[in-house]
Amino acid sequence: MMTPITLLEKRRIVLGVTGSIAAYKAADLASKLTQAGALVDVIMTDAAQRFIAPLTFQALTGRAVYTDLWRMDASAGLPTHIAHVGLAEGAAALLIAPASADAIARIAHGFASDLLSITALAARCPVVIAPAMDGSMYENEAVQTNLALLRQRGVLVIEPEEGRFASGLTGRGRLPETAALISALRYALGRSGALSKRRIIVTAGGTREAIDPVRYLTNRSSGKQGYALAHACLDAGADVVLITAARGLEAPFGAQIVSVDSAKQMHDAVLSAAAGADALIMAAAVADFRPASAAEQKIKKLEQADAPTLILERTPDILTAVHDRRQITGYPRVVVGFAAESRNIREYARDKLERKGLDLIVANDITASDAGFDTDTNRATIYDRGGGEEFLGLTSKARISEAIIARVAALLAEKG
Ligand code: CTP
C-alpha cells in the first residue's frame, strides 16, 4: 500500500511504457503512482503491447491508455483533442519506464513517428527515463551516446541495476524497483520547490554501540520517519545529506547518503556536515549509553566464569554539540529535534527544546501501538519556541514529514 504524497496528488504523470520484458513491472509502477494520488496517463508503444495489455494499465489507473497516434479521441478529457500535443500539455512529468534502446534512440534524435516520441518532443515538463535492456545492449556506445545526449538536455536518466536478465545472462540493465523509480520521479518533480538550493541534513535510524565485534546495543528505531523526512525535503527541492544508521531502507533518490553505526560516528558526521547547512533535522534515535569499552575480540562464553557485566558510559549528545557550535557559527540556521516519550510528553518535549537550543521539537507518544517505532503511521505534536503547538493526529510518516518540512521552510524564509 502506498500512502498519498502531496507532490504527486492530482498531478498528471505521463507514463511511457516501451518494449522490454520489464514492461510488466510498469504495471506495479502505474498502480503505486495512482495510489500515491497521481493521475497516470499511460502511453504504450507497439512493442510494449506485445509484452503487456493496455487493459492492465487501464484497470490499474482508471484512465484511458494511449496506444495509437492516429486515433482522435477527445473522450479522455485532454486539454486538446489532438492527443500528441494534449498528453504533454499540462503534464507534471513524463516518465518512461522501462525505456528500450529503440525508444531512447528515437527520443534522443527527435523522431516524431509514434505517440511516445511525439509526446517527448512536445513535453515542457521534467522528463525521466529508466533504461532497461540486456547488459551488452546497455553498454553499447550507441545507447550510451544517446543517453549522454538526453542528460545534456536535462533529462533525468535513472541508472539501471545489475543483476540477472531474462536471457539468463547477468550485467547492468535491469529496471530498478518501483520505489526507486518513484523516488527519482519525486526528485525531478521537486527541484523547483520551496527549499530549492537549501542544504538540509537529516539523521535516521537507531545507532549501534559495539559490545564486541559481533554484538551491539541498539534500539527499536527503524529509520522510517527519518527517510520520510529526507523524501519530503527532496520533494521540496532541497539538497539532502542523509546521515543514517538504519538498515534495509531504500535510499531516497538524489540524497547524499552517509552510513554510520555508532552515536560517536553520527556525532562526527553531523558536525562535519553542519557547517553551512540550512537545517538539521535530528530524527535519529541516538543511543544515550554505550559499553564503556568494546572488546576487540569476540567475548567467549567458555572464557567467562559468569556472564559478563556491561559497564555503560554516556554518548556525546549531538544536539547539544550542534547548539554550542551554532552559537559561534550561526549554522545550521534551523535545528529540529525529536522526542519519543512514554509520559509527560509536553513537559519533556518543551524541556528538550530549551535545553538543546532547538527551533522546533516533534514529540510522539511511544506507548501508542499505531505510532512510534517501525510503524508507517505516527501521531506527533510540533512544539515551537514561541509556545505554539501543532497537533498532527494519526497520519502517515510521509504526511508528518511534509508538515515538519513546511515549518522548516517557513522558518528559513523568515530568516531570509
Ligand atoms: N539526541 C542527540 N544525541 C544523543 C541523544 C539524543 O542528539 N546522544 C537527539 C535525538 O536525535 C532527538 C533528541 O536528541 O532529536 C531527543 O532525544 P531523546 O533520546 O528523546 O532525548 P534525550 O536527550 O536522550 O533525553 P531523555 O533520555 O531524558 O529522554
pLDDT, tens only, 274-326: 999 999 999 999 999 999 999 999 998 877 778 889 999 999 999 999 999 99
Ligand 1 center to 336 CA (angstroms):
12
pLDDT of amino acid 368: 76
**CA-proximal residue: ligand 1, atom 5 (nearest):** 286
Decide if pLDDT at 69 tops 60: yes
- Best substitution site from 242, 319, 323, 381 to test ligand 1's pocket, by max atoms within 8 Å of Cβ? 319
Q: Give the domain range for residue 157.
A: 12-189
Question: What phi-psi label fits residue 43: left (phi over 0), alpha (psi between -120 and 50 degrees) or beta?
Answer: beta
Q: Are residues 293 and 213 in the same domain?
A: yes
Of the listed ranges 30-34, 88-92, 273-277, the least confidently predicted one is: 88-92
Of the listed ranges 79-93, 109-123, 141-155, 201-215, the least confidently predicted one is: 79-93
Which residue, of 167, 189, 211, is where some domain finishes? 189
Please give the average per-residue pLDDT across 204-220, as a whole number: 96
Question: Could you confirm whether 344 is annotated as catalytic?
Answer: no
Q: Are residues 169 and 213 in the same domain?
A: no
Cell 520520510 -> residue: 228
Residue 150: CATH number of its domain = 3.40.50.1950
Ligand 1 center to 286 CA (angstroms):
6
pLDDT digits (tens, 9 = 90+) for 386-414: 999 999 988 888 999 999 999 999 999 99
Atom of ligand 1 nearest to the CA of 285: 11
Q: Which burial class, exposed, middle or buried, applies to 375 when counting CB atoms under 10 A from its CB (0-12, 13-18, 19+)? A: middle
Q: Are residues 262 and 409 in the same domain?
A: yes
- The total domain count for the chain is 2
Decide if pLDDT at 183 tops 70: yes
**Mean pLDDT estimate for the chain:** 93
Q: Are residues 355 and 381 in the same domain?
A: yes
pLDDT of amino acid 342: 87
pLDDT of amino acid 164: 85
Helices 141-152 and 101-108 sit at what angle, rounded to 10 degrees? Answer: 50
**Is 246 near ligand 1, meaning CB less than 6 Å away?**
no
Which DSSP string corresponds to 188-210? HHHTTSTTTT-EEEEEESB--EE
pLDDT of amino acid 73: 56
User: Which residue, 325, 211, 197, is CA-closest to 268?
Assistant: 325
Residue 226: CATH number of its domain = 3.40.50.10300
pLDDT of amino acid 84: 63
Decide if pLDDT at 72 tops 80: no
Q: Are residues 385 and 285 in the same domain?
A: yes
Q: What percent of the chain has pLDDT over 70?
A: 95
Q: Are residues 331 and 378 in the same domain?
A: yes
Q: pTM value?
A: 0.92
Q: Are residues 252 and 382 in the same domain?
A: yes
Q: Are residues 183 and 198 in the same domain?
A: no
pLDDT of amino acid 87: 86
Parallel/antiparallel/unpaired status of strands 39-44 and 239-244? unpaired
**Is 340 near ligand 1, meaning CB less than 6 Å away?**
yes
Q: Are residues 290 and 358 in the same domain?
A: yes
Q: Are residues 408 and 296 in the same domain?
A: yes
Could you tell me if residue 325 is inside a domain?
yes
Ligand 1 center to 150 CA (angstroms):
46
CA–CA distance, 95 with 181 (Å, rounded to integer): 9
Which residue, of 168, 189, 210, is where some domain finishes? 189
pLDDT of amino acid 77: 53
Q: Do the Cβ atoms of 362 and 373 come closer than 8 Å?
A: no
Question: Residue 275 in 3-state DSSP?
Answer: coil
Decide if pLDDT at 117 tops 60: yes
pLDDT of amino acid 71: 66
Q: Are residues 121 and 254 in the same domain?
A: no
pLDDT band at 3 (very low <50, low <70, confident <90, very high): confident
Q: Which three cell numbers stand for residue 228?
A: 520520510
pLDDT of amino acid 83: 63
Could you tell me if residue 3 is inside a domain?
no
Q: What percent of the chain has pLDDT over 90?
A: 81
pLDDT of amino acid 4: 87
Could you tell me if residue 138 is inside a domain?
yes
Q: Are residues 229 and 359 in the same domain?
A: yes
pLDDT digits (tens, 9 = 90+) for 339-395: 988 899 999 999 999 999 999 999 988 887 776 677 777 889 999 999 999 999 888
Ligand 1 center to 352 CA (angstroms):
8
pLDDT of amino acid 324: 97
